[in-house]
Amino acid sequence: MKAVSWVLLCCCFILFLVGCQTEKERYIQSLVHQIKYAHNESDPEIETELVKLGVESLPHLIKALEIKKVNHQIETILVTIGNNAVHQLILALQSRNPLVQRRIVRILSNIGANAHPALIQLTTDKDSNVRCHAIWTLGKIQQKTNNVSQALIKSLDDEDANVRCTAALVLARLGAGQCVSNLIKKLDDENKRVRSNASYALGSLGSSAAEAIVPLLKLLGDEDPVVRLSGLKALEKIGNYAVPTLIKELSNDDLIVSGSAASILLKIGSPEAISPVKQMLPSLILMLKMPEIRPSLEKVIHQLGQEIVPHLIILLEDPSSEIRLSVARIMGDIGQEAREGIPALVHCFKDPKWEVRSEAEKALGKIGKDAVPTLISQLESSDQDTKILATKSLGRIGRDASSAIVPLIKGLQDSSSGVRWQSSTALRKIGEDVVPDLIQELKNPNLEVCHSAIRTLGQIGSDAEVAVPILIQLVQNDDESTRRLSSTLATSSIAIEALEQIGTRQALDVVEEYNKNQRLR
């Protein structure tokens, strides 16, 4: 009987405690509810009470961060609670709600260096997600101390690859120069993301990471393309300090390493960096055939200018369309100095791959006026694609292609709509020099040519102001020679559109009058 009474007594006591706990929970919930919405007025007394309750109020305060328009006082209270809130805030960072994550990071940043001890302690938490978020938040706070640096360096050896990756990124953000040797070790990490992030971190340190040049060069032979690219960019950021070592690596038997070294030297761009690369042109051509090196080399090899053009011309006949495409792009980047390659690029107009043909057209446009005579000769080609590409390229050249005006106007009568369209576009890009010839075409008996000339004048815009009077005649039928054309509604409509595009006061007055008359009909 006594045993039963004792059990009942214990149960009553437990129920009493639960009741007290539930009552306190309701009390806290009520306090938070009174201030959690943005439209609620801030209440200093409630703020003081919640801060006093401390850890007990955290679940409700953190939950309130999910509200889209939350009262800023919630964040203020959490900042005031300070270190005691850090652990639960870190746990809440695992929320998938980006709004909550941003607010928590802001709170921890406002807690600032005072949050460091708790965050540093969490970098060794048994939960790898907690460790990751603690490290990430240390990076967001962006207040570097010796203790923070040591904690991050230690995390580089964490058993979890995500933790190691995060530690490397945060070290990059904080610019911890004393960790170079530790980051170099991570270039051999078994995880490719860790290797990539470590090289990124070393690159962010710039000249301070000069001792990492050789290990980073070895990374250029990594099996993973992302890792290789990270190593390449890191060496570029280390810059001129890397030049002597990179020059030595130009003779490396591993073409991936020597080719990557050449790419970086060209990217650095100083005379002392470029000069030794010029001595290895045949090797560079061989490297352009390697898919591991081609993307990075393609972006910078144009700096070698006309000296490399003869070698590139040969590659335009390579069996690989990828190589032909890459070479055409490089010649365009070289620009006017690639004029020796004009015939070879024009020959690419008949390449079986449209991408190569298109890139050759762009390259000729970038070479400029030296390509104009050859391109004009292609306007007589029996192949429509060749004519379209040549016309498009002349349009890219613009005013320097003014000697092509007459054959381009002839193109307005071509049987191919593509040739007609590109001829009109090219004439527009040549600009005001073409206006007198286009005005003559307004009297062309071929309506299609006339309409193309009108449209082109409109596209030229204000530079075609001299054509306004005859365009007005086409609309108003004031001249006998234009009466035949203006008898068609289409001609008037096209002329009105051109006048509107030219946009002079006289032109716009006619447009306004024309539209008014149209409404009255």
331 contacts 288 by C-beta, under 8 angstroms: no
- Give the end-to-end CA distance of the chain in Å, rounded to a whole number: 110
33 is a domain residue: no
Asked if the model's pLDDT at residue 18 lies above 60, the reply is no
pLDDT of residue 48: 82
Q: Are residues 454 and 479 in the same domain?
A: yes
Tell me the C-alpha distance between 202 and 212, whole Å: 7
Please tell me the distance from the alpha carbon of residue 187 to that of residue 231, in angstroms, as a whole number: 9
In a domain, 119, yes or no: no
Residues 460 and 482 in one domain: yes
Average confidence (pLDDT) over 321-344 = 95
Sign for the pseudo-dihedral over CA of 66, 67, 68, 69:
negative
Instruction: For 220-273, give the DSSP string.
Output: TT-SSHHHHHHHHHHHHHHGGGGHHHHHHHTT-S-HHHHHHHHHHHHHH--HHH
> Which DSSP state fits 32?
H
Residue 488 within a domain:
yes
The Cα 163–Cα 17 span in angstroms is 41
Q: Which of 381, 415, 430 is the last residue of a domain?
A: 430
Per-residue pLDDT band for 40 (boundaries 50, 70, 90) equals: low
Asked if residue 176 is part of any domain, the answer here is no
Q: Which among 52-66, 128-142, 376-390, 437-451 has the top mean pLDDT?
A: 376-390
Where is the domain boundary, 380, 402, 430? 430
Cβ-proximal residues to 511 (8 Å cutoff; 6+ apart), any chain:
496, 499, 500
Give 16's pLDDT tier (boundaries 50, 70, 90).
Answer: very low
Are 94 and 137 spatial neighbours (Cβ–Cβ below 8 Å)? no
Per-residue confidence (pLDDT) for residue 489, from 0 to 100: 65
453 and 509 assigned to the same domain: yes
d(CA 266, CA 370): 27
Of 136, 131, 134, nearest in space to 119 by CA: 134
Flag whether 450 is in a domain. yes
Quick one: 466 and 501 in the same domain? Answer: yes
The overall average pLDDT reported for the chain is: 83
User: Look-up: residue for tokens 């005001």?
Assistant: 432
The whole-angstrom separation of Cα 166 and Cα 155 is 9
What pLDDT score was predicted for residue 260?
83
Residues 477 and 502 in one domain: yes
Q: Give the three-class secondary structure for 175.
A: coil
Q: Decide if 290 is inside a domain.
A: no
Average pLDDT of span 186-213: 89
Mark whether 373 and 414 lie in a shared domain.
yes
How remote is the C-alpha of 236 from its chain's centroid? 19
3-state secondary structure 124-175: CCCCHHHHHHHHHHHHHHCCCCHHHHHHHHHHCCCCCHHHHHHHHHHHHHHC
DSSP-derived secondary structure letter, 42: P
pLDDT value at residue 64: 78
Of 430, 450, 468, which closes a domain? 430
For a pLDDT cut of 90, what percent of the chain falls above it? Answer: 25
* Residue 139 covered by a domain: no
Which tens digits make up the pLDDT trace of 200-219? 999 888 888 888 888 888 88
pLDDT at 13 exceeding the cut of 50: no
154 or 66: which leads in pLDDT? 154
Using N-to-C axis directions, what is the helix angle for 44-53 and 2-35, rounded to 10°?
140
pLDDT tens for 259-312 read 888 888 888 888 888 999 998 888 888 888 888 888 888 888 999 999 999 999
Q: Do 483 and 466 share a structural domain?
A: yes
Is residue 411 domain-shared with residue 328, that is, in the same domain? no
Q: What's the length of the chain?
A: 521
Distance between CA 184 and CA 214 in Å, rounded? 10
**CATH code, 351:** 1.25.10.10
Which residue range is the domain that position 374 belongs to? 368-430
Structure confidence at residue 123 (pLDDT): 86
In this prediction, residue 5 carries a pLDDT of: 58
Judged by average pLDDT, the poorest of 111-125, 313-327, 418-432 is 111-125
Token pair of 250, please?
């130009």
- Domains contained in the chain, number: 3
Q: Establish if 342 belongs to a structural domain.
A: yes
CA distance 257 to 309: 24
The stretch 331-343 carries a mean pLDDT of: 95
DSSP 432: G
